[in-house]
Homo-oligomer: A and B are copies of this chain.
Amino acid sequence: MSRKLAYRNLPQLFLRAREELLCHFRPIITHFGLTEQQWRILRAIGEFEQLEPREICEICQILSPSLTGVLSRMEDMGLVTRTRMEEDQRRVLVRMTPKAEKLVAELGPLIVEQYKVIEQAFGPELIQELYVVLDKVIAAERGPIPQIKLPPRKNWIADES
């Protein structure tokens, strides 16, 4: 690799940094037969007792069509239950089963433990910095960001030249 990328891609750096952390948690999660997303959902329900699908989408950063599949697989595994709400027949409530509660009770502490290990390895100051700067990106109140105007679409793919 002779030279570095001249243009530094922020989204890509996020991806890389995220992986740098996640790779230390993934073994724990898969050890229990869960996927990363399934664990995120269990954690969220653990916090809120019960959640509606769209809330899970927002909390866990999962798009609705993905969530549908994840939830039905988790239902099959006996980890969650889905019940329609009486007041509003469109909405659904997702809850944990006792089995899932036991699972969370075992898995959760291990994640916390590994987190402490990572915090020491990376340095608590860096972790703190991360929280601060990520919050600035996420929670900041910004006006609407203008979208540059796009040229008329050409059919690159079909075009043979």
Contact = CB atoms under 8 A, between A and B. Distances in A.
Interface of A: 1-3, 5-22, 24-25, 27-28, 31-33, 40, 43-44, 47-48, 55, 59-61, 77-78, 98-99, 102-103, 106, 110, 112-114, 117-118, 121-122, 126-127, 129-131, 133-138, 140, 142-143, 145-148, 150-151, 153, 155-157, 159-161
23 contacts: A1-B48, A3-B47, A5-B47, A10-B21, A10-B134, A11-B18, A11-B22, A11-B25, A12-B40, A14-B21, A16-B61, A16-B134, A17-B137, A21-B137, A78-B160, A99-B161, A102-B156, A103-B156, A117-B146, A121-B142, A121-B143, A126-B137, A130-B137
Nearest to A152: B31
Contacts of A24: 145, 147
